Structure 1
Amino acid sequence: MDFTIPHELERYYAELEAFIAAEIEPLTAQDDNIRFFDHRREDARTDWDRRGLPNAEWEALLREATRRADAAGHWRFSAPTEYGGQDGSNFAMAVIRDRFAQRGLGLHNDLQNEHSIVGNFPFIAMFDTFGTQEQKDEFIRGGLDHERIVAFGLTEPDHGSGATHMETRAVRETRDGRTGWRIDGVKMWITGMHVATHVALFARTSGQDGDARGITCFLVPNPSEGLQIDEYVWTFNMPTDHARFFLHGVWVPDESILGEQDKGLALAQSFVHQNRIRQAASSVGAAQFCVEKSVRYARERKPFGEELAKNQAIQFPLVELATQCEMLRLLIYKTAWEMDRTAHAEIEKTLSDKVSMCNYWANRLVCEAADRAMQVHGGIGYSREKPFEHIYRHHRRYRITEGAEEIQMRKVAAYLFGYLGPGTSKFSK
């Protein structure tokens, strides 16, 4: 068993570092763009007079960084070659996201906006696996060309993790001679609706509350008649782009269905795995950043004439965090490697527990590391002069989104006790 990072991946990461130095860091330095990353970051990023949405100048900066990365051949790295990418593997993405987060806050990889010079495209796998050829052409190619932006419309105000109890309903209705569906309901925490051209919207089309079968995914244009955005919910870490919206008689044709009718939950499960493993890699990288900054500060700080680092009360918590980073990183890399050797549609049936292990533990770990970094740094650690408060506020969200940690622990338990996954055969008798 060889744990060495492949030479070609190390070579590519060196290219990314050179690109960051040549293109991204100078872009950050010009026109006071550093205000989006220093102590002014939350205020600079937020348009408080426009419902707390991202500032237009901030989003323009992200687009320019993406444009440069795409022109250099980096942004589409994880996309299939037929769409201009490099077939970047889950393993490679885990390594890159881990190392990017270890660099700290920066335009190269701003997780608050799911922005990175090496893009994450979970929708590509979803459309490639479940979409028609017309949908692939429109939404994969259109997405990479920034002509299509798809929000993910699963969560509801009264039904977050319990998606099978969603109240949004779609019923058959013919309009102007075309068969289609009328959709009524409400959705919440739907990220990116202020820029989305469509929302992949999940609604019950048959069955009873609690049934896994009977939920269908529809590609609903934004705006649509009857789709009313009520508010963008202000959060612990601003700006916000998390919409609550109502659907009052929204109508879409039959061809708007993505995947099979009544089997939409398979799409939702498909969507989360790539996000979860890459999120886990980013979280462990950010945790490592917090530990390393704390160690350096403890060596440099000399209260009472001696290094702060000589105190075991400083050493031992950081030792535990560093140990967990090392162990978790190995599990993340191994799980990503296994995902690359498993058909996309089969990951939910065979590896979902390992993905959840990585995700919930990494998101918890980075919050602990950021909190410890504040404590080690004292007053300056609590201030916005240091990035730890931003790291904590952002990554605290991950313990709820992409499946709350309790839901992911339930998934691990279902595999462990043989209710789901390969272990069911152990208890079949």
Structure 2
Amino acid sequence: MDFDLPPELVAYLAELDRFIEATIKPLEESDDNVRFFDHRREWARTDFENGGLPRHDWEELLSRAVKLADEAGYWRFSAPAAYGGKDGSNLWMAVIRDHLAARGLGLHNDLQNEHSIVGNFPFVAMFEAFGTDAQKKEFITGGFDKSRWVAFGLTEPDHGSDATHMETRAVRETRDGVPGWRIDGEKMWTTGMHIATHCATFARTSGEAGAARGISCFLVPSDTPGLKVEEYLWTFNMPTDHPRVSFENCWVPDDALFGPPDNGLAVAQSFVHQNRIRQAASSLGAATYCIEQSVRYARTRKPFGEELARNQAIQFPLVELASQVEMLRLLIRKTAWEMDRLPHKEVEHTLSDRISMCNYWANRLVCQAADRAMQVHGGIGYSRHKPFEHIYRHHRRYRITEGSEEIQMRKVAGYLFGYMGPRRELFRNL
């Protein structure tokens, strides 16, 4: 077994570092753009008088960085070559995301906005697997040229992790001679609706509450009559782009149906696996950053005339975190490598438990590492002059939003005990 990274991947990481230093850093340091990353970051990013939404100048800066990265050939790395990408694999993306997050906060990779000079596009595989030819052309191409932005409307106010009991309904209805669907219901945490052109809206179209079948997905244009953003939910880490959205007598034609009717949850599952492994890698990189910064501080801080690092009370917690980081890094890379060896639709049935292991543990680990970094740094670590409080507040969300860690542990248990997945046959006769 060879655990060395491919030489061409190592070279690509160095190339990305050179691009950051030559192109992205100067932009970050110009026109006081550093205000978005130093102790002023939350105020600079948040329009507190406009529902807590991101300020326009903040989103404009992110767009400028993406444009530079796209022109340099990096942003679309993970996308298929047919869309201007380089067919970047899950393994390469995991390593790249880990590497970029380990550099710390910056315009090169701001995870609060899912922003990076190397973009993450799980929507491409989702549309490739489930979209019609017309939908692929419109939403994949439109996604890259920024003419299309799809929000994700799955979670509901009274039904968070349990999508099977969703109360949003879609019923067949013909209007002006055109067959279609009327949608009524409400969604929560529909991220990005302030800029979205469409909302991928999941609704029950048949079956009983609690059944996995009978749920369908619709691509609802955001200006459709009856679709309304009710409020933006203010969160632990601001700004917010997470609204509550209502659908009342909201009608779409048949061609808005996305994926197989009554099997829309397969569309949702298609999205999460690529996203979870890459997000886990980002959390791993951020945890590494917190540990490394703590080690450096402990070596230079000298209370009572001796390095802080000499104290075992400082050493041992960081040793445990560093050990967990190393073990998790191997699991993430192995899982990403295995994902690359399977057809996209097979990942759910074969590797979903491993992906959940990587994701829930990485998200927990980065919170522990950020908390420990605050403790090691003392008062300055608690302040906003260090990035640890921001890292903690941001990554704490992923223990809930990327599929709560309890739901992901339940998935792992289902595979472990043979209720689902490859081990089902092992326990069939018990």
C-alpha RMSD of matched pairs (Å): 0.5
Q: Does 1:322 align with 2:322?
A: yes
Listed as ranges, the matches of 1:196-275 within 5 Å are: 196-275=196-275
Aligned residue number for residue 18 of structure 2: 18
How far did residue 300 of structure 1 move? Answer: 0.5
Alpha-carbon shift at residue 52 of structure 1 (Å): 0.3
Q: Describe how 1:393-412 pairs up with structure 2 within 5 A.
A: 393-412=393-412
Shift of the alpha carbon at 1:402? 1.4
Shift of residue 72, structure 1, vs aligned partner = 0.6
* 1:40-119 correspondence runs (5 A): 40-119=40-119
Separation in 2, partners of 1:156, 1:346: 28
Q: Deviations over 1:273-300 (max 9, x none)?
A: 0110001000111001000100110110
Correspondence for 2:120: 120
Aligned partners of 1:101, 1:64: CA distance in 2, in Å?
20
What is the Cα deviation at residue 255 of structure 1?
Answer: 0.8
Residues 196-255 of structure 1: CA distance to partner in whole angstroms, max 9, x if unpaired? 000111000000000000000000001210011110100000000001011001100111
- TM-score by structure 1 length? 1.00
Per the TM alignment, residue 178 of structure 1 is displaced from its structure 2 partner at its CA by 0.4
Structure 2 counterpart of 1:117, one-letter code: I
Aligned pairs for 1:278-427 (under 5 A) are 278-427=278-427
Does 1:161 find its partner at 2:161? yes
Residues in 2 aligned to 1:14 and 1:326: alpha-carbon distance in whole angstroms: 21
Alignment partners' CA distance in 1, 2:17 and 2:304? 40
CA distance in 2, matches of 1:86, 1:222: 31
SS at match of 1:134: helix
2:31 paired residue number: 31
Write the letter of the residue equivalent to 1:295: V
Query: CA shift at 1:15, angstroms?
Result: 1.4
SS at match of 1:249: strand
Displacement of 1:195: 0.2
Deviations 1:304-326 (A, max 9, x none): 11111110000000000000000
Q: Which amino acid in structure 2 is aligned with residue 306 of structure 1?
A: E
Identity of aligned pairs, percent?
74
Q: Which moved more, 1:2-11 or 1:386-395?
A: 2-11
Runs of at least 5 residues in structure 2 that lack an aligned partner in the other structure: none
The correspondence of residues 170-181 of structure 1 with structure 2, limited to 5 A, is 170-181=170-181
1:408, CA displacement in angstroms? Answer: 0.1
- Aligned-pair CA distance for 1:106: 0.4
Deviation string, structure 1 residues 325-357 (Cα, Å, up to 9, x no partner): 000000000000000011111111000000000
